[in-house]
Structure 1
Amino acid sequence: MVLGAVAAGVVVGLGSLGDAARAAGPGIPHGTAQVVVGTGDTVWDIARRTAPDADPAAAAAHIVELNGLRSAALRPGQMLTVPAA
């Protein structure tokens, strides 16, 4: 159900990240998208879904950086910018 919530989270837009994306690490897509956080989602889970070819720790750190998060705590309904091809 959690996967469905994020998968159903409408991708609102795609963008380009420039230098931050290039420095994010191997396997992390250079583009970005917006997703809605579902109940029980963690940054790690979202990182694994949005950057499946990347090291999950690096992808999670990139999501934290993209969104200026001070912690990995997320709220259902929160919009996050995530890596996307």
Structure 2
Amino acid sequence: MHFDHGFQYSSYEVTKKVKEMSSQISMSRIGNSLDNREAEYFFSCLKGEYLNRINTQKMKLKEIYKHIQWYISWYNNHKIQKVLNLKTPAWASVN
């Protein structure tokens, strides 16, 4: 899991939960926001293109999770991207 350098992300509770999930914490180098630009770009797209357009305030977490799963699948398999020569991320990764 990639986090910024905030105290809330390096707290005992968060680090314990991440370890329970058999994961690792990754943090950007201080003052180098380019370390996580891909993740920042994806989440910007997720929020701007999708989540901000549906009413998540009245949804249960499971429903929001299903929406996010749908968006990830759509993003990887159907969204063409200029930076990938008008291919989808899934198509670009195999060709």
**TM-score with structure 2 setting the length:** 0.28
Higher helix share: 2
**TM-score with structure 1 setting the length:** 0.30
Higher strand share: 1
Name the structure, 1 or 2, with higher relative contact order (CA <8 Å, separation 6+): 1
Which one has a bigger Cα radius of gyration?
2
